[in-house]
Amino acid sequence: MRRIDSIVKLADEIDRSVNLKNPDILVYVKIVKFRGRWVSAIYVGSPNNIVSTVKMFQ
């Protein structure tokens, strides 16, 4: 499954208004290789809990 396919499936199940400039909940989807298989890694939570390594080293 491609990343966009995962996002579309998740979005179909969410019945909320969306504010992209100031979101209260973030849904982050990343496709990663784990033990030789491609899997979807999904984070659902507050945008404040995301750690940016770019910001850490500036």
Q: Where are the domains of the chain?
A: 3-56
Is the dihedral angle over the CA atoms 43, 45, 47, 53 positive or is it negative? negative
Share of the chain above pLDDT 90, in %: 5
Which residue would you say has higher pLDDT here, 44 or 56? 44
Angle at 24 between CA 30 and CA 48, to 5 degrees: 65
Query: Given this model, what pLDDT does residue 1 score?
Result: 61
